[in-house]
């Protein structure tokens, strides 16, 4: 019996979009093993970001919460066991769903495997590739799935591979990382601010480690400049999607 594949798209990607990130994975899955159902319906917005810059865009928390509920409903509606893929904001939806299952919710939703690309809640050291860097900018998923779970993480993508002490974490705590990206905040202006901030320790402890603080802010500025490419095109161009598809095919 085939495994039904459900996808949870990233911020601003169109519902069932023909060139969404996860299509570069699903196109390579063995049709003898998998049946592609497609996207879970959810806003995939972070306020104005991804909503055509309207003032009524759904917030990140609301978007993720709706995605979790709709994912559960779609799993229940399929006759077969499912595999769930998530990219970026969609990976956060998958992670929050798995956390809910770990708390005893959605126990009727059977899953064969889950896989995420650029997960903002990726756990430290969890990656299909060697030498992963840091962990998700929004923290670490608080669940250990009982099924196979695959993480695809570009070490230069600050959304999923943020250094533990990175100043970007403070920004993400107050303004969504996705909003920063979509609003154009992660541009030269923010880079300049980060580079200037290297000179301004935030505590007495920082004064004791000036070189460490210099390096942290330099790394954060580099992450900002790389965001538009490292969080998107690299996953296709550098073979991340290909490797993820190969692993899914080999393990199911």
- Rounded mean pLDDT for each run of 10 residues along the chain, 252 residues in total: 96 94 99 98 73 55 93 97 98 98 97 98 97 93 98 94 81 56 48 48 43 52 57 94 99 96
How far apart are alpha carbons 156 and 107 in whole angstroms? 36
In this prediction, residue 217 carries a pLDDT of: 54
In this prediction, residue 228 carries a pLDDT of: 62
- If one counts every other C-beta atom within 10 angstroms of the C-beta of residue 166, the result is 20
Write the class of the CATH domain 3-160+231-250. alpha beta
Q: Rounded to two decimals, what is the model's pTM?
A: 0.81
In this prediction, residue 118 carries a pLDDT of: 97
The full set of domain ranges for the chain reads: 3-160+231-250, 167-226
């Amino acid at each position: 019996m085939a495994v039904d594949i459900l996808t949870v798209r990233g911020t601003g990607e169109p519902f069932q979009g023909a060139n969404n990130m996860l299509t570069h994975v699903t196109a390579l899955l063995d049709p003898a093993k998998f049946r592609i159902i497609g996207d879970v319906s959810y806003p995939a917005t972070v306020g104005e970001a991804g909503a055509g810059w309207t003032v009524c865009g759904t917030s990140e928390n609301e978007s993720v919460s709706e995605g979790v509920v709709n994912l559960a409903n779609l799993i229940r509606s399929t006759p077969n066991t499912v595999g769930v893929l998530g990219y970026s904001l969609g990976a956060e939806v998958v992670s929050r769903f798995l956390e809910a299952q770990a708390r005893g919710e959605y126990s009727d939703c059977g899953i064969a495997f889950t896989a995420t690309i650029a997960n903002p809640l990726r756990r430290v050291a969890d990656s299909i590739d060697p030498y992963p860097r840091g962990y998700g900018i929004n923290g670490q998923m608080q669940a250990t799935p009982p099924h196979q779970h695959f993480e695809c993480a570009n070490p230069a993508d600050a959304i999923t591979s943020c250094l533990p002490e990175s100043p970007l974490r403070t920004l993400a705590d107050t303004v969504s990382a996705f909003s920063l990206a979509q609003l154009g905040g992660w541009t030269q202006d923010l880079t300049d601010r980060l580079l200037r901030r290297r000179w301004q320790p935030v505590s007495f402890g920082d004064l004791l480690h000036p070189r460490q603080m210099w390096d942290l802010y330099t790394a954060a500025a580099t992450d900002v400049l790389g965001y538009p490419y490292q969080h998107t095109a690299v996953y296709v161009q550098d073979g991340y999607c290909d490797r993820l598809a190969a692993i899914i095919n080999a393990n199911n």
